[in-house]
Structure 1
Amino acid sequence: MERTLGSASFSNSRSSSTAHRGLVGTVRLWQRRLESRRQLARLDSRLLADAGISEAQRYAELNKPFWR
């Protein structure tokens, strides 16, 4: 089967579009993690206890890098 220039460029644009969506999804995940950790940092000890989160667990979560 012979490939033409048109089909190759379509295939490349499709894979770059997929890569772009993957990158956008990853950045959004990182943003959600940052916001969740900001909210976690604002909780007082009563709210932490209500959620079943210890101070040690909060500390461990807040010290993770955004990509983890």
Structure 2
Amino acid sequence: MQLATGIVVNGKVVVEGLDLPEGTTVTILTRDNEPAVKLSSKEEAELLQALDEADAEEGISAEELFARLQRFC
């Protein structure tokens, strides 16, 4: 799974530097018109630490996660 940012040009999402095979299924997440979240220096440090801790944890692949979630559908 990848995360990429792009813009809409003539009704199509354009992502620079990302080469996906033809027919690849993608998910688009759009931002609301809500203002950006502002974090204090302390909050940002805590968030970055939490992300580092999450990266260090052993996890499962996205495919395994989706397979497990399918059991609930």
User: Which structure carries more strand by proportion?
Assistant: 2
**TM-score, normalised to structure 2's length?**
0.28
Greater Rg by CA:
1
Structure with more contact order per residue of length (Cα contacts < 8 Å, sep ≥ 6)? 1
**TM-score, normalised to structure 1's length?**
0.29
